[in-house]
Amino acid sequence: MSGIWNFFLKKSSFTALLIVALLFFGVFSVIVIPKESSPEVQIPIAITTTIFPGAGAEDVEELVTNEIEEALNNNLDEVNKITSVSREGVSVVVTEFNADADIDESVRDVKDEVEKIKRELPSDAEDPFVSDVNFVDQPIMLVSIASDLPVTKFIELADDTIDELKSVKGVSKVIKSGIQEREVQVVVNKKQLHKFGIRLVDVVRALSTSNTSLPIGGITLDGIEYSVKFEGEIEETREIENMVIGTTDGQPIYVRDVAFVSDGVSKTTSFSRISIDGAPSEQAVTFSVFKKRGGDITKIADSVREKLTELQNDSVLVDTTVLVALDTGEFVKDDLRTLSFTGLQTIVLVMVILFIAIGWREALIAGLAIPLSFLIGFVALHITGNTINFISLFSLILAVGILVDSAIVVTEGTHTNMRDGLVGKGAAQKTIKEFHWPLTSGTMTTIAVFAPLFFISGVTGEFIAGIPFTIIFVLIASLFVALGIIPLISAKALKQRGFSVFEEKQEIITSKIRDWYKKILRNILGNKKKENSFFII
């Protein structure tokens, strides 16, 4: 096997080009590889949501939820359990699969079954929507904007800001909270309904097909609000008032004849306020920014900040206070800085110790193993479609103290062979011959410790899969660097020389320890009682 490593030693030009290529592709991978806070892991759950405008909770359960539950229960495999929630106007069915199920295939099966069953659902119900759950389906940024504008103007400002943030590359959605919505309320007069012989459902149907683009909160009758969804083109409330909902004696009946239409704001469901440096708190709206899957969290977060600065300089967010309350992109950058600092500390410590023990040239050469191994590891992460997240960064930090060992052995071995009279490549070849099997065996032993993590199934196994993958590949990279690259650098950079003052003292101490140990072994070996006692101790 030493012949493989000797190839890199003999073909010095090829090895030099290989080092340059690894440096280039390593740096390139660090730049382009997506960065995120956590791995993209799907949870074995599918959520089926169905909107049923105007329906009460009991009707939703009987006409929608039960139908979907029965279809999924009877026709799906790998299902652990199904739970549901039925409330006014909304049905939510949660399907939990077995841990070893293929999540993508299971979600597709749910979509297929829902597609079949939707024909049996009420015609007024919207098409069911099936979604999965992913660890990264959480906001990467929380941005709060405060202003003393009137509520209606502030709502318009919030809507304009959402549109601008959604235009940022890599942003999947933006959700606002802490502010009311513009909303039109239709309050129906029960006596007028009876007078004209109109049913509430006639009013709902007329409005539902009205093509209104106004966010109508619902229809209220006797203090009970019925939620309805409206989509379309009407812009003014008077157009709703003038809508025809029926006829009597040949005369049209308008919405205004049976109901009062008001243009206002929705009920308050959440609050958001900002207080900076102890100043009085101001009304605010908070935006939760989500990224698209596979997007680089650091680049997206930077783009969002640039967009906010642009909006502040323009007329959109003029005279407002903008506060970024959460930026997970900064957390990832901090983790990368921590990794860099930890790696730098390790390199410095290794170089200091080797400088004291055998010389500054040897210290520099051994220290190269850490950045080279890391860069090769980043290339592997990029090629395999992995991302930089806290799992992979934790793995790299964990591996820092391990991957330098092989390089130290090879560097010190080459140094010793040169001290004993060998020159350049001859000293490096002898080092490879002496140490390639021990180093390979030691690396494989360490790999064997982490390999079983690959066999952990379910969400947990998928979540931590980056630990064994990253550590194992970095360890393999460190072995390649130690036996394929370090010998050539050592042969070129190290010089043949005798013992230094420190090495002479070290050799004297080592000889005394070696003689003392030999004496102990002579007294023990051959005497079974002493041998057994020695092994027990």
pLDDT digits (tens, 9 = 90+) for 93-123: 999 888 777 777 888 888 888 888 888 888 7
Among 12-16, 240-244, 369-373, name the one with the lowest average pLDDT.
Answer: 240-244
Split at pLDDT 50, 70, 90, the class of 213 is very low
Q: Which of 332, 312, 214 shows the shortest CA–CA distance to 263?
A: 214
Split at pLDDT 50, 70, 90, the class of 375 is very high
User: Tell me, what's the pLDDT at 114?
Assistant: 87
| pLDDT tens for each residue of 239-283 | 777 777 777 777 888 878 888 777 766 666 666 778 777 777 777
User: Tell me, what's the pLDDT at 135?
Assistant: 65
| pLDDT tens for each residue of 337-367 | 887 788 788 778 877 887 777 677 888 888 8
Q: What share of the chain is helix, strand, coil (3-state, %, to 5)?
A: 55, 20, 25
The per-residue DSSP string of 305-328 comes to HHHHHHHHHSSTTTT-EEEEEEEH
User: Tell me, what's the pLDDT at 26?
Assistant: 92
Q: Which two three-digit tokens encode residue 509? A: 């101490």
426-441 average pLDDT score? 90
**Amino acid in position 24:** F
User: Tell me, what's the pLDDT at 500?
Assistant: 62
Cα–Cα distance for residue pair 210/146, rounded to 1 Å: 35
Hey, what domains does the chain have and what are their CATH numbers? 2-32+358-498 (1.20.1640.10), 42-134 (3.30.70.1430), 141-180+269-330 (3.30.70.1320), 182-265 (3.30.2090.10)
Split at pLDDT 50, 70, 90, the class of 514 is confident
User: Tell me, what's the pLDDT at 214?
Assistant: 45
| pLDDT tens for each residue of 121-160 | 887 788 888 888 766 678 889 998 888 888 778 888 888 8
| pLDDT tens for each residue of 440-487 | 999 999 999 999 988 887 777 878 888 999 999 999 999 999 999 999
For the cut 60, the answer to whether the pLDDT of residue 368 exceeds it is: yes
500-520 average pLDDT score? 76
Q: Average model confidence (pLDDT) for the chain?
A: 81
User: Tell me, what's the pLDDT at 220?
Assistant: 55
**CB burial class (10 A; 0-12, 13-18, 19+) of residue 271?**
exposed
